[in-house]
Amino acid sequence: MRRLVPVGALLVCLSGCVITPMAPMTADTRAGEPAETAREEGDRMGVEPGVLKGRVVGADGRPVQGAKVVADNQLLYNSNLIVSTDADGRYRVETDIAATFHVTASMTVEHNGTSYQVDLSPDDDSSFAGPTGAIRDFTWKLTGEKADGLGHYGGSVLFHLDMTDPRNPEAFLEDEKVELTLTPESTLLDGSQGQVITRRAVRTPDGSGLVDVPIARYRVSASYEGRPLQVRLRGQDAYAPEIVADFSQYISSVYWIQLELKL
């Protein structure tokens, strides 16, 4: 029978290392041990007992090198296993201890002179038992809801609207009647070509605007029921019919553009 590694041995950090995939290990087939039955089943599915492995690719299927994969030990605080993907987008790390793990992945992308921290989308977000092993693949997505349901892979374009209507001082403008047009001035974060985005604003817990926008540099204009709005970055002095803006970091891997609008 395979012996479990002491829990204390988990305190390792493999950040920055390139792990070369190894040939699958053969499961112990001695009868009478339920754990061995689970391991044999895992082998038939491509899972190696006591091993976490997988691959990270872009939306186009090409491998992503240098992505950071974190296996969070859910038994001991701050005892994560961290490993980087190799040139083929693959990673591998031993997890043969008596603990469960939850796996996440991220990467840092340089774009237009700014570093962006990007969360990667898992094919399976469930936890697993370390001795059983698991395969967790990830995809770099520019948009879509995150696996944990907390936000989107794209950024937000939010605004504060001056509610005064010069034509009718007694009227109050409504955020939902604002339409934003975003024209890409650069490639998207992954180097692909973006499309012009024209959408009505929605209200969010962080403010009104557009959510889940692919991160890029955009030329931004706005209108209110067909009437052009003046635009500026929040806190700047001069309004203009349109501006060019980059996303800035709000928290961690969350990015936004903040605007002020008026008729």
d(CA 142, CA 114): 16
d(CA 163, CA 166): 10
For residue 25, give its domain range: 7-140
Contacts of 6 (CB under 8 A, 6+ apart): 97
Asked if residue 215 belongs to a domain, the reply is yes
180/136 same-domain check? no
- Name the domain count of the chain: 2
Asked if residue 252 belongs to a domain, the reply is yes
- Of 86, 49, 83, the closest CA to residue 64 belongs to 86
Asked if residue 149 belongs to a domain, the reply is no
d(CA 57, CA 108): 14
pLDDT tens figures, 220-248: 999 999 999 999 999 988 999 999 999 99
14, 39, 95, 186 from 7: Cα distances, Å:
17, 21, 11, 48
126/187 same-domain check? no
160/133 same-domain check? no
Confidence at residue 41, expressed as pLDDT on a 0 to 100 scale: 47
d(CA 206, CA 167): 29
135/15 same-domain check? yes
136/202 same-domain check? no
In the predicted structure, residue 85 carries a pLDDT above the cut 90: yes
pLDDT > 90 fraction of the chain, expressed in percent and rounded: 76
d(CA 263, CA 261): 7
Task: List, in sequence order, every residue forming a beta bridge with 199; answer none if it has no partner.
Answer: 180
102/208 same-domain check? no
Asked if residue 147 belongs to a domain, the reply is no
pLDDT tens figures, 25-45: 333 333 333 444 444 444 445
User: What CATH number is associated with residue 100?
Assistant: 2.60.40.10
pLDDT tens figures, 132-163: 999 999 999 999 999 888 899 999 999 999 99
Asked if residue 59 belongs to a domain, the reply is yes
Residue 122 contacts residue 147 (beta carbons within 8 Å): yes
Q: Where among 100, 115, 140 does a domain terminate?
A: 140
